[in-house]
Every structure is written in structure tokens, then in C-alpha cells.
Chain A
Amino acid sequence: MQGASPRPAARAVDLGKVYGEGDAAVEALRGVTIDFASGRFTAIMGPSGSGKSTLLHCMAGLDAPTSGRVFIGDVDLTTLSEKQLTRLRRDKVGFIFQAYNLVPTLTAEENITLPMDIARARPERDWFDTVVDTIGLRDRLRHRPSELSGGQQQRVASARALMSRPEIVYADEPTGNLDSRSGSELLAFLRDAVKEHGQTLVMVTHDPTAAGHADHVVFLEDGAVVDEMEEPTAERVLDRMKSLEA
């Protein structure tokens, strides 16, 4: 495959983000321009503090950029009101954080259908079954998060992110707190979602193997895109990382 598909699921144009003011100002993003192709799996890599999370937050409508523009589909997020942004997050975006993804009072099932319940929309039963079966937690649906392992919790969070069939799913180091087995299970599940259901996925990861399974890798350093790689392999990613950190 070459180049991005004609209509990207999300894109950023000259995106800048500055935290704080004056002497204390930190420039987390310095003019990032990037396309996330529809139906593809993009991995974002970069050293700690390079702006990966900030990029995801800005592109998911969780944080407001200082300059530049962010699009999901044709919608410019920087023109949206707080209300519209909330709606967009609910209907068009899925997000998986590193931890604490679940509401402790709700069961696994209720957590999965959370965005629908918020929207008072009826979850598609078939799709729900498909998602639940893929994460393999059918027998845990009535459990509360405190009764689930870390890996199970992240799988529930992923199911929630996919449940509303959003235009794009962002995952910020979703395996960061998991042991390697739970981590690879989760990755396999997310990859399947892209392959079999055409879900667009953008994931921040430190793991070259995980990135090796992506369609596309973006390298960030000091808030700027320093390299991109199509059809990566784990070895090539590892090499590139080494040169970045050197």
C-alpha cells in the first residue's frame, strides 16, 4: 500500500500545543501535520515527553490545541463548542487510557455500553455480541471492575471504545500496565478490530513488536513528527527507535 487513503479518518494540520505561560511555558507540540488513514492501524512512537499523549488528547477532542487545526472526518474540532465536542467524543471517538478506564459502580456490560447509555441509544445487539465474544468476557459481563484483572479491565475498555463503531479509536499505551501475555491478547484483539471490521485505530506504544503489527508508524520527538514508516516490521522499528534515542 502506498500513501494515505483519499479520505483520512482524522488529521491534524500544523498542530501546536503550549502548556503554561511565560518562562514556565512548555511547547508539547510544534506544528504537527498528520493524517490517520481510514480503516488502518497507526502506531505512534517516541521517547517519553515527546508529546504523544498530547497529540492524542488534542485529536480526540479531550484537549484544545493552542494553534493549528484538527479534523475528524470533515469536522474541524477547533470550531466546536464544548457541547459539540462532548457529543463528538461520545459518538465519533473511542478512547482507551493506560488505566482507570472503567466506572467502578457499573458492571462490565454497563461499562461497555456506557457511550450508548449516555446517548440513550440502544446498543446493536449483534455488534455487542461480536465484540463481547472477541474479548472473551461473556461470563464476566455482570462483574464489577474490582472483580476483574487488569487485562480483563483493559479488554472491557477496548470493547467500550469499539462499541459505538466510532470513526476512530485512540489508545494511549493501553498495554502499559499489563503483563506481556495480557498485553499481546489485547493487541491481537485490537488488530482484529481493524482487520475484520475496518476500525481506524491510533495507538501510542513503546513496544516495537506491537508497532510492527501496525500498518503505519509515526515517530515523534520534541513535539514534532520526525519520521513515518509504512508496513513496518519490529526490527525496523527497533532500529529507528535506537537512532532516535541516541
Chain B
Amino acid sequence: MWRATLKSLLARKVRLALTALAVVLGVGFVAGTYVLTDTLDKAFDELFTTTTAGVDVVVQAKSAFTPVEGGGGGGGQERNPVPEGVARRIEAIGGVQRVVGDVAGYAQIVDPRTGKAITTAGAPTLGANWDPLTGLVLRRGRAPTGPGEMAVDAGTAGKYDLAVGDRVQVLFQGPSGEFTISGIVGVGELDNLLGATLSVFDTETAQRVLGRQGEFDTVNVVARPGVSPIQLRNAVAAALPKGFEVLTGADAATQSAEQLRQGLGFLRTALLVFGFVSLFVGAFIIFNTFSIIVAQRTRELGLLRALGASRRQVMVSVMGEAVAIGLAASAVGIGAGVLIAVGLQALLRLVGVELPSTATQVLPRTFVVSLVIGTVVTFVASVIPARRASRVAPVQALREEGAPPGGSLRRRIAIGFAVTGLGLAALLTGLFGGGSHAAQLVGLGAAMVFLGVAILSPLVARRIAGWLGAPLRRLSFSGKMGRENSMRNPRRTAATAAALMIGLGLVTFVAVFAASLRSSASAALDETLRADFIVSSSQFQPFSAQVARDLAARPELGVVSPFRQGEIRVGGRTDFVAGVDPSTIAAVAAVDVAGGSLHSLGDGALLVYRGVARSHGWKTGDTVTVEFAKSGKRKFTIGGIFTDNRLLNNYVVSLPVYQRNFAGQLDMIVFVKARKGVPIDRARRAVDQVAAKYPNVEVNDQASFKARQAGFINRFLALVSALLGLAILIALFGIVNTLGLSIFERTRELGLLRAVGMSRRQVKRMIRWEAVIIAVLGALLGVVIGVLFGWTMQRALADQGISRFALPVGTLVAYVILAGFAGVLAAILPARRAARLNILEAIAYE
């Protein structure tokens, strides 16, 4: 039996390679994700170990929690500073050899060539003081000294062609400054830190420009020889008052790495989702291939049975084949994954994100998970075909055109509806019920809906294929034949289309969701924002509060209202709080507040969004405890409940409260209104004149602000669609595979058609049309499901700002048309093979 399995495996190399490819790609993506994130993880560990290598003990203020986004300070730490006096006290402790205080904060360099602020792909723009203990090394020139000098990281210097001696402008939270570049620095061996830009000053200058006069963010301590870091840590901790955190250098490195690790964990989960989607699609391909192979081998299987093979043996032989493919494909997939990870790292370096280099990490976990997932998926997908194979009766060895018995129609309908129904239930529970496993429920539900529809789709595949192909009948003979062929085996057509349905369904869902998001965002601005101008930074990174002060000084402008944002913790859950100026915000934000007003928002008061208040059972006047990373727990009275959270966050406090409780004091947005009686273009000129001094700041009116938001959403849409492209690609391989197998099965018929005068070109066209019908069928099913998903999602999130449902009809039509073209691509190889068949051999083919 095993010999037979192996033989049949080798006999069908090409088809197996294609089938395996579906698994290879999915497993490759999963393994690649693990390898990439593990490698980065390790690299950062190593990096933080080197950057704290010379430091034995680190002292910093305690932080209540670690904000995900790094607080409102644009990369600055959300902690209280350490006064210089504390540093001096540490110097006096026995066992201390050296003490160096460090500061870091927002500093953005202006490109002297273009006059524009240098931005990054999401990494912070940092300013810091010169401290070789933190891993900074001088590459060229000398360390910065005095108020007019700075050093810049080698990455930025290289990219923007900055040299020692150049003069550059640098933006800070406070007034900007001009500096001469005295040196170029690296971070250990790296040119920069993850793509961040770095401006380095001497300590006094850094304290001044970063707003830390007389203070440090952290204090690094070096032990005298013979004193261990732990001894020193204990000594320092004993000497300092409460409110300070004293860590060994190693612990500090771990803590820093931990923060990045959380971000990496998020990236890993997000990428794995796409890997699992690909594997799910791959399972359809495998199922379909095995079904077809079993059907084609009916006579052979019947013969085996007639010769005495038991049902069990037949079943085990098919499953054995699946496991063999699964193992082999997973192994190849792991290799592919390592290559993908290495390639992605190279790509990141290419776009300017310097990654610490370390050995590529292929952990045992990566091996185990990838191998198990790939093999289990393949195995599970083969169970039904294997069962079908085992039901082939011995007499079928003798029949002419045997096909294994299919399941009953009624059972298919019952199972299909049950799976779809359960999936919908899970989906809806996850979306509307919330709960801690909401995301998993939604994922599971969506997968089950796809599966259920796939089970039901053979019932309608024939009709829909016939209907889709109807115009082809008149178009050409090839079109007519392509249509017939797509209709002749609905189970096969449906299963092939289902694989594409999943990819298209998800892409459609994302497109519908993005369209709803765009439309909702636009409506939100229309309905809640009353500003003439919106000032923000080009990447929605916070920017200097000086901008708002400069704007307020202009007589042409009536209202200048800054808006800040920071992370807080309420009842253990992290959320965002908005910091607003109560005296001006009401003029630009049309938000109803029940039981209070934006205007009367005082110290110690907090406004809460209605939905949040409702879920906590809060009402105006209640006391709520809010935790800040910097200042810890604070009690607030609810000063009002607002009905619309589309412009503001779920919580709103006044600017003075914000200033007391956050370390970073940068504005996210400044809303501006022209003074009454001042023409709008004069006001605009005034705003533009102020903005001209801040190259990282951009001025929009409501229309252009909307367009900008749409741009962000579109980029998100493009990214997710690109990641789903893998699933679609796998589905296309599925079409190639099905067509290849079908052609093999129809060899004699193709020979006959050629003998009676069908040209090669007509044969190719016939197969192309069949592929197009299958692809469009899958795309249509996917679009319908995707629209339903999108609609459900919008309903579920209607309360969280996605108030509108929008159907991007043009995009969806384009998707279906593109799917048709993809069908043409998938048909290229099978069509070529069919057209090249030797007529006489084909006719004689058994």
C-alpha cells in the first residue's frame, strides 16, 4: 500500500508541486513572520544590552504604566524628571565612580536643502545629550560642545547629505534653534536607531532645548571596580527617596526591550492572521486537488479494492499521501519563511530603517508550529476526499466512466446551512457582544461563514456559471465550450471558486470598511468641526506648542484652540484622553455636553463620552479614578457627558490638567478660526506665515483635511489588500491546478475537438473562458460576503465613530473585472498544455 502511495505521488510531480505550493506559501508566511519578529526581538535585546553595557545602575522616576504610543511627548518618556540634585546625591554614595544624567525629547532637524522638516517612516525624531555610556560613538568630527553645536546620526547625515560644519535648524517643543554640526555619531555599529533621527547636544544645551533645565530623564551610574551592579543598585536605592526607580543596567535594558517586544508582538499577530488566511485558502486547494485525483483514480482504486485492499487501506493511503505532501511542503515553507524574513530585513534597511544585525533566529517553536500547522491543514483537507476514495466499490474498476459517490444533497444543504449559521452567530457575538475573545470569535465566525458558503456553493455554481457564461455562447464557440466545461462539474468549479472567494471576500470587506471609514470621517468633520483651518504635523506626530502661541498672537485670527492627546488607564483599560482649552474649544467643536459644557470644563473635572459612561454606569457628578503614566492615580469628577466622540476622544480634560499629568507637552492639532470680519484668505495668509517657521507643520482647511484623512485610509487599504494578495495568489494557483487536472481528464475529448478542426487558439480560448468564469464566480461570491461583513462591522462600530455605511461600487466592480483577468493569467499554462496535445495520442489516451 505504501509503495503504491509513493508511486502515485511521484507520478504526478507537477500537480503535486502546485498543490504543495499552496501550503508552502502559507507556511512560508507564518514561518517568515516568526523568524522576522524573533530576529528583531533578539536584535533589540542585544542592542539594548550594548547601549547599557557601560552602565551599572539606572535611576529614573517611577511610571505607573507604559503607554503604547510613548505618551504625548513624541518619543519622550512619560515619566517625571529626575532633579539634578538627586544626581549629585548619588555621586556622594559609596561605590559610585561616575554619574551621567541623560535627557531625551522631541527634536526635528530641518533639511537645509529643502527647508522641510526631516520626517521618518514612523520612528521618532529625537534629541539627546552626548553620553558615550548610552552606546553613542563618534564617527567623524568631535562631540558637540556649547550652545551652538550638535552632532547628528550617521543615517540621517548620509541620507540628507549633512556634513561636519553644516548649519542646520532644529525644531523643539519650545523655540527652534540653529546649530553647527560638529560631528557624526552612530549607535554602536548602527547608523541610526530603527530609522529614528538623532540630534545630540552637550548636556546643558540638551536640557535647555528639550525643556529639562536642571533635570534629567534618567541618571546612569557607573560602579567603582569591585562593586557589583546589584550592590550598587541596593546602595543607591537606599539613599534615594520614594518615587524613584533604581535598576541595574541589565534590568533597564530588559525593560526597554520589553516595550519594543510588545510592539513586535502586535506586528506578529497581525502578520500571522494573513498567514492563517493563506493557509485556509490553501486547504481548499488541497481539498479540491485530492477530490479530483480521487475521482480520476476511481478505476484504479476499484481495482485495488477488487484485489483485496480494505476500505481502511484505501483511506489511509490517500491520507498518507496528504501527510507526506504536508510535511514536505511545510519543510520547504520554513525555508521559504527564512528567506522571506531575511528579504524583509534587507528591504527595511533599503528604506532607511537601520536594524541591529544579529544571527537570523529560527527558534524550535517556529519549526514546530510551522510543521504542525502545514501538515494538519493538509491532512484535514484530505479527510473528505480520502473517505470518498474508501467508498469506491470494487465493481467500479470495471466501469467505463466511474466517479466516486458524492454525499447526499440534503446532507450537504443541512451541513452548509449549519456551518454558515454557526459562523454568523460567532461573528455577531464577537462583534456586538464584545468580551475578551471578541477578535478570535470574529475570526472563527468569518472562517466558518466562508466554509459554509463553500459547502453550499456547488448547489448554485452550475446556475451562476451558466448565467455568467450566457453572453459567451453567442460570442464564440470557444466561449460556449468554456461555459459548458465550467458547468459540467459544479462541485469542482465551486471548490475552486471558493478559494478565490475567501481572498476577494476579505479584500472587499476591507474596501467596504475603508469606504465607510472615509465617509464617516468626512461626515464627522462636517458635523462636528467648525474650524476654518486645521494645523497639524505632516504625519500626525505631535508638534511644538509654540505654534499655537504664535498663531494666537496674530490679530487676523479669532480662535486658536490646541488639542492634545495622551494615554490613560481607567479601570485597568488603556484609552486616550484629549486635552483641550475650555475657553476656545466650544467655538470650533460642535459637541453637545449633557450636564455641563466644554466651556465650563474646570480643574479636577473630566468629560466622558456617553457610550463609555453608559458601559460604566457613570453619571455627571460621579467620581472617577484615572491613572496617568507620569503622575499615577488621580480622582476626577465627571463634569458632563458628551454625545459625540468622533472629534474628541472618549475622555476630555482641560489643558492645565493635561499639563500637570503628562510629561510630553506637544500639540496634536491646532484648530483655528478667522477673526470676525477678517476675510478668509487674509486669515489663511496669517496662518501660513506662522506655519512657514515650522517646517513639520501643515495647514489644511476642512476640505483638504478630509482629503488627507482619506489618503491615510487609502494607504491602510492598500497595505491590507497587498497582504491579502498572497491568499488571492494561492487561490489562482488553485485555478491553475484544477484546470490542469480537468484537462488531463478531458485529454481524449480535446484530441477529438482538435481532430474535427478546432484550432489551437480556439482550444486556448476555451480554457481561458472556463478560468474566467470560475474566477468571476469566486469573485462575485466573495464580494457579496465581503459587503455583508463590511456592513456588519460598520453596524458594530457605529458607536465608535464609523457612523456611515458606504459601498465603493467602482472598486468592487474593478475587483470582479480584475479577478476575470487573473483567471486569464491562471489559464495560461493549462491552456498552452491543452493546445499542444498530440491529437492522435490524446484520442488513444485511456
Contact = CB atoms under 8 A, between A and B. Distances in A.
Nearest to B762: A118
Given A86-B757, A86-B758, A89-B757, A100 B488 contact: no
Nearest to B484: A105
A90 B756 contact: yes
Interface in A73-126: 82-83, 86-87, 89-91, 95, 97, 100-106, 114-115, 117-120
A231 interface: no
Contact of A95 (B476, B477, B480, B756): B756
Nearest to B759: A86
Given A95-B755, A100-B748, A103-B753, A86 B476 contact: no
A100 B757 contact: no
Interface string A161-187: 000000000000000000000000000
Interface in B742-761: 748-749, 752-760
B843 interface: yes
A160 B684 CA distance: 82
B472 to A, nearest CB: 13
B516 to A, nearest CB: 44
Contacts of B721: none
Contacts of B840: 57, 62-63
Contacts of A95: 755-756
B762 A101 contact: no
B755 to A, nearest CB: 6
Contacts of A105: 481, 484-485, 488
A118 B756 contact: yes
A75 B19 CA distance: 47
A146 B403 CA distance: 14
A103 B757 contact: no
B839 interface: yes
Nearest to B845: A100
A57 to B, nearest CB: 6
A86 B485 contact: no
Contacts of B758: 86, 90, 118
Main secondary structure of the interface of B (DSSP, over half): helix
Interface string B668-693: 00000000000000000000000000
Given A105-B484, A105-B485, A115 B756 contact: yes
B836 to A, nearest CB: 11
Given A57-B840, A105-B485, A91 B757 contact: yes
Which range contains the number of B residues in contact with the other chain?
Answer: 20 to 34
Interface in A35-66: 57, 62-63
Interface residues of A, number: 27
Contacts of B481: 105
Contact of B760 (A82, A97, A100, A115): A82
Contacts of B476: 120
Nearest to B487: A105
Contacts, number: 62
A101 B755 CA distance: 10
B484 A86 contact: no
Contacts of A103: 749, 752-753
Contacts of A146: 401
B756 A160 contact: yes
Contacts of B748: 100
Main secondary structure of the interface of A (DSSP, over half): helix
A120 B757 CA distance: 12
Interface in B734-793: 748-749, 752-760, 762
Nearest to A119: B757
Given A117-B477, A120-B477, A89 B488 contact: no
Contact of B755 (A89, A102, A106): A89
B845 to A, nearest CB: 9
Contacts of B485: 105
Contacts of A89: 755-757
Contacts of B839: 62-63
A101 B752 contact: yes
B757 A115 contact: yes
Given A62-B840, A97-B843, A114 B488 contact: no
Q: Which of A82, A89, A114, A118 has the most CB of B within 10 A?
A: A118
A99 to B, nearest CB: 9
B832 to A, nearest CB: 14
Contacts of B752: 97, 100-103
Nearest to B400: A146
Contact of A90 (B401, B757, B760): B757
A57 B749 CA distance: 17
Given A62-B755, A106-B484, A86 B749 contact: no
Nearest to B748: A100
B757 A118 contact: yes
A105 B762 CA distance: 17
Nearest to A88: B757
A171 to B, nearest CB: 13
Given A103-B752, A105-B484, A105-B488, A87 B757 contact: yes
A151 to B, nearest CB: 16
Nearest to A54: B840
A141 B839 CA distance: 27
Contacts of A90: 756-758
Nearest to B749: A103
Contacts of A115: 756-757
Interface in B452-478: 476-477
B585 to A, nearest CB: 71
Nearest to A120: B477
Nearest to B480: A117
Contacts of A160: 756
Given A97-B843, A120-B477, A114 B756 contact: yes
Contacts of A118: 477, 753, 756-759, 762
A118 B754 CA distance: 10
Given A83-B759, A118-B762, A100 B843 contact: yes
Interface in B383-411: 401
A48 to B, nearest CB: 15
Contacts of B756: 89-90, 95, 114-115, 118, 160
A87 B755 CA distance: 10
Contacts of B759: 83, 86-87, 118
A22 to B, nearest CB: 20
A63 B843 CA distance: 12
B787 to A, nearest CB: 34
A57 B484 CA distance: 29
Interface in B471-512: 476-477, 480-481, 484-485, 488
A91 B757 CA distance: 8
Contacts of A117: 477, 480
Interface of B: 401, 476-477, 480-481, 484-485, 488, 748-749, 752-760, 762, 839-840, 843
25 contacts: A82-B760, A86-B758, A86-B759, A87-B759, A89-B755, A95-B755, A100-B748, A100-B749, A100-B843, A101-B752, A103-B753, A104-B488, A105-B481, A105-B484, A105-B488, A114-B753, A114-B756, A115-B756, A117-B477, A118-B477, A118-B759, A118-B762, A120-B476, A146-B401, A160-B756
In the A-B complex, the 7 residue pairs with the closest CB atoms: A90-B757, A105-B484, A89-B757, A86-B759, A117-B477, A118-B758, A115-B756
